[in-house]
Structure 1
Amino acid sequence: MNFSDVLKQSNQLCKISPDGKYVATCVQYRLMVRDIINLQIVHLYSCLDQVMHIEWSSDSMFILCAMYKRGLVQVWSLEQPDWHCKIDEGSIGLVSSRWSPDGRHILNTTEFHLRITVWSLCTKSVSYIKYPKACQKGMDFTSDGRYMALAERRECKDYISVFVCDDWHLLRHFESETQDLAGLEWSPNGCVLAVWDSCLEYKILLYSLDGRLLSSYSAYEWSLGIKSVTWSPSSQFLVIGSYDEKVRILNHITWKKIKEFHHPGTINNCKKAVYKEVENTTVVGSDNLSIHQLTGGNSLFSPKSKYEIIQLPAQVPVIKPDLDRANPKIGISAMAFSADNRYLATKNDNMPQSLWVWDMQKLCLLTVLEQTAPIRCFIWDPSRPRLALCTGNTKVYIWSPTGCVSANVLVEGFFQVQSLLWHPSGGSIVMMSKEQFCICYMDSED
């Protein structure tokens, strides 16, 4: 692994362009677009206020900067640096802004979710969509960019509208059989729309493109229900993470449960591998000047860690949540599939230091990674089954089916890794601290 210099950024506003050529960062009101290889600035833009959100268009030709406090959106062009666009929502305010899949329309959601405004960069026309619901994930596009599903709330009832993204005309509008819709998501093949209820009622519904209810699923009643939902890349599995610390897998043919993954406090099966991070402190001496120079001479001690395979049965650290508080720290909050559909990684909130990796061909637990600190972020390599994670310290961790490794981030100063972004090629990782970022370039043998 090789590490770039440390550069500034604000609010972890750091995004890699879809074509993988550039990385965009913001420092207060300045937007900087850098070459991903040498990190030289290729474009520098000044916005009208502090930027709260940035997003690349799908073709990497434009970049959107949203300033929610001012109700403003500015759009910049990489091909024509002199061209720019300003969208002012005025007194109605702005809470979110995003691109449509074609990269030529911007969807702005106003304060209190009064409406969604669709702005066209090509025709300069404006369209309005009323009654969007304020929920966890109320809008989603099919992977081919043809259709958009939107959750709506009218007369105390949930509805779903399906729009054609070419001209934003309404294709389907139907009532959802939910008490309080919390989110929706298209399957990767765009054939099925998953809709789930709030955590107070365990219900997930599967709709076809024309609004037909294909199936519904409920695991239990009278307890906190669904916490996270994700599709497998092949659309074969719909995976539901619940507050009862279990992951339930539905198949795409009958929409019935085919497997249930538990997250026990004790792992007994001898076929599983449990990797535990073990820390130690080593003195950096004169025989290792490169590390001393890379750290800028700030410290003579470089904390290192390694993974050890621990014997079973193994105890998984568990934190007892406060069940009297809203949104208790319990249950499956994060799940992610590897790009090849082979592995599923899950995180159980009351086991914050552990990451669980499941084999989706055998439908069984494969590995548990036990860290010394709570896991902040984990993300799969887009090109191969390789998982990167961070815990807010000065290290980055990589897991693959062949094993796992802990690597110190050898840069100047004290760099605490808060979040990660893989390059689309899988050849590098962007690492972000609170106010800085750097890039880890992976060697081919890594």
Structure 2
Amino acid sequence: MPNTALAYDFTEIYNQTHSHVSFSPGAQFILTAVQDRLIVRRADTFQIARTWLLDNTATESATILGGTSRLTVRTKKANETEGWITHVGWSADSEHILAACTKRGVVHVLKMRDDIWHARIEAGAEGLVKAEWAPDGRHILCFSEWGLRVTLWSLIKGSAIYMQFPKFTDRGYAFRKDGRYFILAERHKSKDTLSVYDAADSYKLARHVALPSSSLGSLSLSPTGNHIAVWESQLEYKLYIVTMAGHLQATFTPDQDPGLGIRTVAWHPAGTFLAVGGYDDKIHILSSLSWSCVKTLEVSPRIPSSVTAWNEPVGWLEDSYGHAFQAYDKLQNITSIAFIRTSPEKPDPKSGVIQLEWNVDGTLLLTRFENAPTAVHIFAFPSSSEPFNPHLRSVLLHNQPVLQARWNPVRAGSLIICCGTGGVYTWTSEWEDSELGIIEMAECVGVPTENFHVRNIKWGPDGKGFVLLDQTTFCCAFEVLEDVAE
């Protein structure tokens, strides 16, 4: 009897700029930015559905500021790239597309089903560093330079709402899962504050809370929307749990001094746990019942024999000329990992947790450590009906440093990894074997083209395909089922 195996069908290679390639929320279209042009393709046939050439003429304010603040002689190439698109995004209903050119202070909004409709937002003297959609798909957040303010533009009213003195532009803000509230970390009179804005009431300020932090590092809102994790900058390992009403619930600091502070945190999808990682080799798991540490996960250069270790075969890509599937080597007995030893006394040490990410149902936790750049650690977490015993389940070792690792947004046991090579790496705990049943499997998949190095990967929202990005090109891979004879 034949077995069903998973394979991948790759598309042709297409151009892109600044890795701006994204599936629409319904996975029907793929949006691409190429310099100052937007291209929308159908995801099933890759035929072009819409295209726009944008006029990114600099605003008057951007022209004045550009002429007075840049004292160096600019090259022709630099002037040309200033008009390229820097940010793109789909609205939640896939009806609108956002395209921003921050160096020119311009944001364009376009409609998929209307050739004439076109909105243009021009930043003033405050400048523009970032633009993105609000969850309702009818408001746009524009972050100004120098942390002056966040401007919320309404496509319905054509008016703007201003939020003053955001602490950051790349972090320190979040929408509640239902889009009802917008939380923003701000800095007023040299003190960290938390502002909660009500999206259902024209983004009026609902509450303004003083934070206990001395120098805020960032914040993260729980999936339930009831609690906010706030932590200090890298100089101090301290995390606070604050309610939406602004009440301090708990403060967490490890018993042993970890040296530097927190690098990243990740909420369990159900909001029951919070994983906290710093600049050391430990991950602290906090429980939402007591906000105390219920488990400390540690990694070491030695992998125990009870853990499944996978190793990328040496030279597999060259031997197959990029046109092959190659299984990882499954290592036996105790294995060692090459850890880079860094001095904590040096500024910005290359150590600690750089990625914490739960899978879709919270049964697996992916971790990557900067001082073990070629390794991906996967921890198993019990369900609510199982005994609480989180443990290291699998380790994937590669020949080159891992650049990105992404969980499938739909399937719990599906993971893709890229290392800047001509292939992509997959791990699954859903592999079906006729004799053994469901088993774990890791494979290397070559991209069938020359001079293509996968530097970034993005899943489609349906979990059936993903985008592979090189520096200036991209392709897509879609899962297909094949019958493999025994």
TM-score, normalized by the shorter chain, greater than 0.5: yes
Conserved 8 A contact 1:228-1:242: yes
Tell me how far apart the structure 2 counterparts of residues 86 and 63 of structure 1 sit (CA, whole Å): 12
Aligned to 1:2: 9
TM-aligned CA distance change 1:283 to 1:369, over 3 Å: closer
Tell me how far apart the structure 2 counterparts of residues 301 and 440 of structure 1 sit (CA, whole Å): 14
Deviation by residue 1:61-94 (Cα, 9 ceiling, x = unmatched):
1111111101111111112132111111122211
Aligned to 2:285: 249
2:463 matches 1:429: no
Conserved 8 A contact 1:280-1:304: no
Tell me how far apart the structure 1 counterparts of residues 480 and 14 of structure 2 sit (CA, whole Å): 22
Matches of residues 403-418 of structure 1 in structure 2 within 5 Å? 403-411=441-449, 413-418=450-455
TM-aligned CA distance change 1:4 to 1:54, over 3 Å: same
Moved more, 7-16 or 221-230: 221-230
Moved more, 211-220 or 16-25: 211-220
Aligned to 1:14: 21
Aligned to 1:199: 234
Q: Which of 138, 160, 173 does residue 208 from structure 2 map onto?
A: 173
Conserved 8 A contact 2:149-2:164: yes
Conserved 8 A contact 1:279-1:303: no
Q: Secondary structure at the match of 2:451?
A: coil
Q: Secondary structure at the match of 1:112?
A: helix
Q: Which of 125, 131, 142 does residue 97 from structure 1 map onto?
A: 131
Tell me how far apart the structure 2 counterparts of residues 282 and 379 of structure 1 sit (CA, whole Å): 21
2:262 matches 1:240: no
Q: Which of 27, 31, 44 does residue 24 from structure 1 map onto?
A: 31
Deviation by residue 1:137-181 (Cα, 9 ceiling, x = unmatched):
211001110001100111111000011112111111111111111
2:26 matches 1:44: no
Q: Which of 415, 420, 436 does residue 387 from structure 1 map onto?
A: 415
What amino acid does structure 2 have at the position aligned with 1:194? A
TM-aligned CA distance change 1:229 to 1:222, over 3 Å: closer
Tell me how far apart the structure 2 counterparts of residues 222 and 65 of structure 1 sit (CA, whole Å): 42
Runs of 5+ unmatched residues, structure 2: 1-7, 57-82, 383-388, 430-439
Runs of 5+ unmatched residues, structure 1: 285-290, 292-299
Report the Cα offset of residue 131 of structure 1: 1.4
Tell me how far apart the structure 2 counterparts of residues 301 and 256 of structure 1 sit (CA, whole Å): 49
Aligned to 2:394: 367
2:354 matches 1:333: yes
Give the share of equivalent positions with the same residue, in percent: 32
2:94 matches 1:63: no
Matches of residues 87-126 of structure 1 in structure 2 within 5 Å? 87-126=121-160
RMSD: 1.8
Report the Cα offset of residue 326 of structure 1: 2.9
Report the Cα offset of residue 324 of structure 1: 5.0
Tell me how far apart the structure 1 counterparts of residues 258 and 475 of structure 2 sit (CA, whole Å): 47
What amino acid does structure 1 have at the position aligned with 2:300? P
Q: Which of 378, 382, 386 does residue 405 from structure 2 map onto?
A: 378
Report the Cα offset of residue 444 of structure 1: 3.6
Deviation by residue 1:311-359 (Cα, 9 ceiling, x = unmatched):
2211101123354543221000111111121101000000000000000
Conserved 8 A contact 2:322-2:423: no
The alignment of Structure 1 onto Structure 2 pairs a total of residues equal to 430
What amino acid does structure 1 have at the position aligned with 2:96? F
Conserved 8 A contact 2:324-2:445: no
Tell me how far apart the structure 2 counterparts of residues 344 and 129 of structure 1 sit (CA, whole Å): 35
**Higher relative contact order by CA 8 Å / sep ≥ 6: 1 or 2?**
2
Conserved 8 A contact 1:136-1:182: no
